[in-house]
Amino acid sequence: VVYVTNNSMWYRADYVTRLSSMGAPVSPDRIVSSARATALFLAECSPKPACTLVVGGAGLVHELRDVGLEVMLSADAAERWSANGRDAAAATRGVDTVVVGLDLEFTYARLAVAAEAVRAGARFVATNRDPIYPMERGLMPGAGAVVAAIVTAGGVEPVSIGKPGPLLLQVAAHALGRPVTEAVMIGDSLITDIPAAVAVGARSVLMLTGISTAAQLAALPPDRRPTEVAANAEELAAALDRLARS
């Protein structure tokens, strides 16, 4: 079992603690967040990034440093920008990569330095493009909203790691040394989870316990539908049994 998530704010150890408390089987190597996938993606790039400007949370910074990448915090670059006559080029000198995730303290200054680095030719990578982020009290702006601001100001589209694109699942499979086509993607979203499985040629199970409904599923063309559908844990177990025999 591998857990994949578009959330880039938390470090793998945080997910291990949360999942273990629910009784789920988990270890750090079985957590592939968009932050972890982004770090692994960049670590294998040629040339490897020399200095990465990070617009995002502590978990993203931790994952990038774990694979040996040099990191410049957008907060530090923004502080230099403000202190030195708003010279964004000077504030980001040496940056050749910009990585963007959900940043709960995003500011105009952070936007300015990130956009300048992108305009100057830095590799631009988004952990995900989710426009909203569900929280206890409702929906909040997601990483995609932060990315969109930098796209608008920088004039460049990023490589996007998270679902519904294929890279998150490809990195997860590669980390385990297994073909991604052997995977069965289990998720509740017809916007991210199932399209990601379709994109990599993996089988999938749509859970009707979250954000997607049977009516939304019925409206999809056959080539965009999941392999199986389950309304509860018992139906999920039966679906996985069928897939194991196929």
What tens digit of pLDDT does each residue of 154-164 get? Answer: 999 999 999 99
pLDDT value at position 137?
Answer: 81
pLDDT value at position 17?
Answer: 94
pLDDT value at position 138?
Answer: 81
Q: How confident is the model at residue 60 (pLDDT cuts 50, 70, 90)?
A: very high
What are the CA-CA distances from residue 209 to residues 24, 157, 235, 242 (Å)? 18, 34, 11, 20
Give CA angle at 240 (234, 245), nearest 5°. Answer: 135
Which H or E run includes 138? strand 138-141
Distance of CA 131 to the CA centre of its chain: 12
The predicted-structure confidence for 92-121, as pLDDT tens digits, reads as follows: 999 999 999 999 999 999 999 999 999 999
The predicted-structure confidence for 26-47, as pLDDT tens digits, reads as follows: 999 899 999 999 999 999 999 9
Q: What percentage of the chain carries pLDDT values higher than 90?
A: 91
Q: How confident is the model at residue 134 (pLDDT cuts 50, 70, 90)?
A: confident
Nearest to 129, CA basis, from 38, 58, 199, 244: 38
pTM of the model: 0.90
Strand order, beta sheet including 159-160: 71-73, 52-55, 97-100, 123-126, 159-160
pLDDT at 72 over 90: yes
Please state the rounded mean pLDDT for residues 164-191: 92
pLDDT at 139 over 90: no
Q: At what angle do helices 74-83 and 108-119 cross, to 10 degrees?
A: 100
Please state the rounded mean pLDDT for residues 145-157: 98
Residue 228 to residue 235: CA distance in whole angstroms: 10
- Which residue has 């857990």 as its token pair? 3
